[in-house]
């Protein structure tokens, strides 16, 4: 079997799909979305495709090594997202070729279903805002979710903030706990917007409502800053969506800067690399909770690894990743879990009529798909 061509499609906002075709008639599908990079990652996938066409798609590790190392300039978000997309498509092809779910080729599943969390929170304390939060919670709890993650919305954080800003955030968090009760897990994504000092102060305030974790309290570049927060927090700290290979996770794992790791399968080098990161973390009793804020093919590639590693805790999932409209059978959340599939490959069948369409709406392009520009009141740049 040989790869005959690689096609790319952009059928929706923040949705860039890859189809790897072979001379046996098997196609592998995956997602190559790097948020805010709609032109450069497809170009990188095009470059790697020049290497891949004509090769045996079943030599997945060999191709990973070739794509990662032959570039000479290793790593980086563009390269790793491009490699990730091709890697996931090759796992889809391999599963279909052998007639088994792709996870069966990684040692077989260690669990039957994958626990997922949804995005939910309270951030608008007006009557209408609270009503909206109530309605969403009631809708999600009907699907049996037992964990929710809340972000910080459009709130920006300076190096320090007055009590009113912190108190408002904390009030929302305690209200969330009051609404869901003690059986449900609640977590918070600080989105790398805070300094270590501010993050520690806010984490101390959150302590009493017992969060499951706080994600990216500070940006990802400095593991020591992350460790400073972890050392002062009374609950697990998580990071990883912007770390792009085992080498970028190395210090975070070995210095035990966090308890929970959130590699994104679509950015960290694909299922091949995600499994290796999980195996590495197992030595330190760290668990993975793969980041997935894009589409249903990325969710499938995450779950392929969630299925086979013991140190998996919970999977992120957003509404779009369930695949309504794009998949012939969207993923279903039942009792807070997604059942592992028994069909060959990554368990997804894309509706090619939809998948090969072209999106030309407003939410496209650098900045626009990431929500625009953020500034502090003095005009200096704030983290989004």
Query: Cβ(288)–Cβ(313) under 8 Å?
Result: yes
Of the candidates 63, 267, 287, 291, the residue annotated as catalytic is 291
Strands 237-239 and 260-261: parallel
| Total site size for Mg ion, rule CB under 5 A | 1
Q: Which residue is nearest to Mg ion (CB)?
A: 189
Strands 237-239 and 287-288: unpaired
In the complex with Mg ion, which residue's Cβ is closer, 115 or 193?
A: 193
In the complex with Mg ion, which residue's Cβ is closer, 104 or 289?
A: 289
Shortest Å, Cβ 3 to Mg ion: 34
Quick one: three-class SS letters along the chain?
CCEEEEEEEEEECCEEEEEEEECCCCEEEEECCCCCCCCHHHHHHHHHHHHHCCCCCCCHHHHHHHHHHHCCCCCCHHHHHHHHHHHHHHHHHHHHHHCCEHHHHHCCCCCCEEEEEEECCCCCCCHHHHHHHHHHHHHHHHCCCCEEEECCCCCCCCCCCCHHHHHHHHHHHHHHHHHHCCCCEEEEECCCCCCHHHHHHHHHHHHHHCCCEEECCCCCCCHHHHHHHHHHCCCCEEECCCCCCHHHHHHHHHCCCCCEECCECCCCCCHHHHHHHHHHHHCCCCEECCECCCCHHHHHHHHHHHCCCCCECCEECCHHHHCECCECCCCCCECCEEECCCCCECCCCECHHHHCCECCCCCCCCCHHHCCCCECCCCCECCC
Shortest Å, Cβ 359 to Mg ion: 24
Segment interacting with Mg ion (CB under 5 A) among 8-16, 185-193, 251-259, 327-335:
185-193
In the complex with Mg ion, which residue's Cβ is closer, 53 or 370?
A: 370
Active site residue 291: yes
Of 193, 192, 197, 255, which is closest to residue 224 (Cα–Cα)? 255
Shortest Å, Cβ 216 to Mg ion: 5
Shortest Å, Cβ 112 to Mg ion: 28
**x/- binding map, residues 127-166, to Mg ion, per CB under 5 A?**
----------------------------------------
In the complex with Mg ion, which residue's Cβ is closer, 264 or 273?
A: 264
Segment interacting with Mg ion (CB under 5 A) among 44-52, 80-88, 187-195, 197-205:
187-195
Segment interacting with Mg ion (CB under 5 A) among 50-58, 156-164, 183-191, 242-250:
183-191
Beta bridge partners of 165: none
Q: Which two tokens stand for residue 174?
A: 């305690």
Shortest Å, Cβ 239 to Mg ion: 9
In the complex with Mg ion, which residue's Cβ is closer, 189 or 306?
A: 189
In the complex with Mg ion, which residue's Cβ is closer, 63 or 287?
A: 287
Segment interacting with Mg ion (CB under 5 A) among 32-40, 67-75, 159-167, 188-196:
188-196
Shortest Å, Cβ 289 to Mg ion: 11
Of the candidates 78, 97, 191, 267, the residue annotated as catalytic is 191
Active site residue 287: no
Q: Pick the binder of Mg ion from 27, 87, 189, 264 (CB under 5 A).
A: 189
Rounded to an integer, what distance in angstroms lies between the CA atom of residue 350 and that of residue 222?
Answer: 39
In the complex with Mg ion, which residue's Cβ is closer, 64 or 213?
A: 213
Shortest Å, Cβ 261 to Mg ion: 12
Q: Point out which residues bind Mg ion (CB under 5 A).
A: 189
Active site residues: 191, 291
């Amino acid at each position: 079997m040989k790869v005959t061509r690689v096609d790319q499609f952009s059928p929706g906002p923040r949705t860039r799909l890859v189809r790897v075709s072979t001379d046996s008639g098997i196609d592998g599908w995956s997602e190559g979305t790097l948020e805010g990079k709609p032109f450069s990652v497809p170009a990188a996938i095009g470059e790697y495709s020049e290497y891949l066409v004509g090769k045996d798609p079943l030599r997945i590790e060999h191709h990973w090594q070739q794509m990662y190392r032959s570039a000479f300039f290793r790593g980086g978000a563009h390269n790793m997202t491009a490699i990730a997309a091709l890697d996931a498509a090759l796992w889809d092809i391999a599963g279909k070729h052998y007639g088994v779910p792709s996870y069966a080729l990684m040692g077989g599943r260690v669990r039957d279903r994958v626990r997922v969390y949804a995005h939910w929170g309270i951030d608008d304390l007006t009557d209408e805002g609270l009503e909206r939060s109530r309605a969403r919670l009631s809708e999600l709890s009907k699907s049996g979710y037992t964990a929710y993650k809340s972000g910080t919305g459009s709130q920006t954080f300076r190096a320090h903030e007055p009590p009113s800003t912190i108190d408002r955030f904390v009030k929302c968090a305690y209200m969330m706990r009051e609404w869901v009760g003690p059986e449900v897990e609640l977590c918070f994504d600080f989105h790398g917007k805070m300094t270590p000092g501010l993050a520690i102060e806010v984490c101390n305030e959150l302590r009493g409502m017992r969060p499951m974790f706080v994600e990216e309290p500070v940006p990802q570049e400095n593991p020591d800053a992350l460790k400073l927060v972890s050392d002062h927090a009374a609950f697990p700290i998580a990071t990883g969506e912007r770390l792009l290979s085992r080498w970028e996770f190395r210090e975070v794992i070995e210095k035990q800067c966090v308890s929970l790791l959130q590699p994104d399968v679509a950015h960290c080098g694909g299922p091949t690399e995600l499994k290796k990161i999980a195996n590495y973390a197992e030595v330190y009793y760290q668990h993975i909770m793969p980041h997935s804020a894009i589409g249903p093919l990325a969710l499938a590639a995450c779950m392929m690894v969630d299925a086979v590693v013991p140190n998996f805790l919970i999977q992120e999932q957003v509404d779009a990743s369930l695949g309504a409209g794009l998949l012939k059978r969207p993923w279903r959340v039942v009792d807070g879990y997604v059942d592992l599939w028994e069909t060959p490959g990554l368990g997804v069948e894309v509706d090619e009529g939809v998948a090969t369409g072209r999106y030309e709406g407003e939410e496209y392009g650098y900045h626009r798909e990431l929500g625009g520009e953020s500034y502090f009141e003095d005009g200096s740049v704030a983290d989004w």
